[in-house]
Amino acid sequence: MQGRAVLADGREPVQAGRDGPGFPGVLVRGSRHRCAPLHSVRHRGATEDPIGSREREVKGAWSRGSIWGVVSGWLPAFGGRLGGLPLVHRMPPWRVIHRFADVAAELGISGLNVGGPGKTGGMDFLTELQQRIDALASFAAVGVDSVSALSDEDVVRFTGLGAALVKAGQRMQSIGAGVVATRSTREAGHGGLAQARGHRNAVDLVQELSGSSRAEAVRHVRLGESLVEAALPGQASEREPGAGREVPWHEPVDAAVLDGRATTAQADAILRGLGAPPVEPGADGPDADAVEAWRLAAEQLLAEVAVRTVEDLAAVARQIRDRLDPTGAEARYLARHEARSFRMWTDADGVRHARIRYDDHGSAWVQAMIDAALRPRRGGPRFVDPAEADRAQQLVDDPRTNEQLAYDLLMDVLRAGATADAEKVFGARQPGVRVVVVKDDPVGHLEDGGDALPAAAVEQAICTTGTVEVTVDSCGNPLDVGREQRLFTPKQRLALAVRDGGCVWPGCTMPASYCEAHHIDEWAAHGGRTDVDRGVLLCRYHHMNLHHRGHRIRRDGTGPHMLHPPDGPPRELRSKSPLRWLWDPPPRAA
């Protein structure tokens, strides 16, 4: 029996054709899953493919209500076999048409019939999908006792399978959230998808559907809008016939999410960190060179998602953005400076509170001051003189919490003011903010964290404290000579900080000031020379882990440092320095 399509607000859609918009849709071609809007969907005819300007036989499937989205086209993790379960039937190529409206239904939005003119096939599809999800949920309900009985290797595998399922679900949620957002705009008014369900906007609806935090719902909507923009860069009715497709700069990120190479959190970190390409005054949008530069930067970051944390990806993306757009970097620096504030208030119980909003330089100074005082408590370097070792042990044994120590430190500094005995408060290692800058470069970076500083702020720091020059070769290796000593000198450590930017262990985010210099050629065992090119920065934890677990770090010539675990393949150790892009830059547009 012929069914009828019903939109979310109860209206029937206009039959798709040359003169009617019909259902918005996308066509997924081949195995690459590259999407473009359909110009039209004919009642019993063919779809028109704007990418290849050709028509494809649909065999009247629309009239039978049997054209269904292939979930594997959007969620590859669902499209093969997960844990031995075949999850989704792969349909023939001529049936791989998927309306974004279907995704909203998959998210559980009530009142949305995705069955096209005939709803039976759609309900069969959703029923099958629900059955697959229920089957997987039964696996997830396995008891703690059962998992506890697994071997270490199987526990890791079990956890990884759960993570794969979550990632696939997040992709599905982001796609749906993006479509929800496009149908819940202010222009839609109370007839919008979210508004019609009693929500102010798409974020509120997505948050209710997912039971997530608002921040997570915002992330899904933001990423979903990016996915929709890449798949539908302007409605067909708004474009001139035969107009070329404008590819957004973030298309590589969108593709990586859809094919499972990047998680939604990783993609959001890249998108937020890079921001949008700058637009010149009076221009309608960014120029082609800027779009290409941002696209190449996104591709470079995607190549590192397997070896960087989400937080690290976001930080590196911001560093790349500031190098690509030094004018914008200075504007953002000044905006944060103008937003600085300090406020105190008293609550109902008479307790005094304070809130500080830092500018970049102020926050870096306060952080450096606290780090210098608390470094022994937070895993700082162990190679110190006897006096410092005694003081470090006293600090470790202090019964106060780190937060209490930081508060007392700030109070001591404020009380003493300019006459404070800095050595009494901080010890031999004085606090300070170290800025790393390439000569004549418009942007500098903090040694710890890599935050960008505009040229004016760099010049101010140089005027106040002077400079130390470090010379590097074209690959970023600091130039130095061998020494007949075991310890690296302060200047050598500075060179290592410029090159490595922090602990080089995969996934570690410890800054350079918290690290120890490791000789890759052990001094006692191999007669290792204390040259900069034979050393790397490691935090205390990973330095101890390396020596106690049998790891080794090797380097051939000026090639990358490679971590060789006792069992398993070697892994490349990548620099965390924001300056690495100078000697290992992303590919440039031709």
Q: Please tell me the total count of domains within the chain.
A: 3
> Tell me, what's the pLDDT at 19?
36
pLDDT of 56 higher than 90: no
Are 459 and 503 contained in the same domain? no
Q: Are 8 and 183 in contact (CB under 8 A)?
A: yes
Residue 485 belongs to some domain of the structure = no
Its domain, for residue 545, covers 490-583
Are 448 and 499 contained in the same domain? no
Q: Which residue has the higher pLDDT, 230 or 474?
A: 230
Length of the chain: 590
Lowest mean pLDDT: which of 154-163, 253-262, 383-392? 383-392
State the Cα–Cα distance between residues 572 and 575, nearest whole angstrom: 10
> Tell me, what's the pLDDT at 340?
92
pLDDT of 293 higher than 70: yes
> Tell me, what's the pLDDT at 241?
42
> Tell me, what's the pLDDT at 277?
92
> Tell me, what's the pLDDT at 345?
93
State the Cα–Cα distance between residues 193 and 280, nearest whole angstrom: 35
Residue 3 belongs to some domain of the structure = yes
> Tell me, what's the pLDDT at 400?
84
Averaging pLDDT over each range in 22-31, 52-61, 344-353, 538-547, which range is the top one? 344-353
Are 212 and 105 contained in the same domain? yes
> Tell me, what's the pLDDT at 585?
52
Of all residues in the chain, what percent carry a pLDDT higher than 90?
13
Q: If pLDDT is split at 50, 70 and 90, which confidence band does 462 have?
A: low
Q: Which residue has the higher pLDDT, 216 or 44?
A: 216
Helix (H, G, I), strand (E, B) or coil at 87: coil
Are 425 and 561 contained in the same domain? no
Q: If pLDDT is split at 50, 70 and 90, which confidence band does 507 have?
A: confident
φ, ψ (nearest 5 deg) of residue 444: -110, 170
Q: What is the mean pLDDT of residues 320-345?
A: 90
State the Cα–Cα distance between residues 418 and 422, nearest whole angstrom: 9
Lowest mean pLDDT: which of 76-80, 258-262, 354-358? 76-80
Residue that finishes a domain, picked among 417, 450, 466: 466
Are 43 and 174 contained in the same domain? yes
> Tell me, what's the pLDDT at 245?
52
Lowest mean pLDDT: which of 36-45, 193-202, 288-297, 331-340? 36-45
Q: Which residue has the higher pLDDT, 434 or 155?
A: 155
Q: How many helices (H) and strands (E) does the chain have?
A: 23, 17
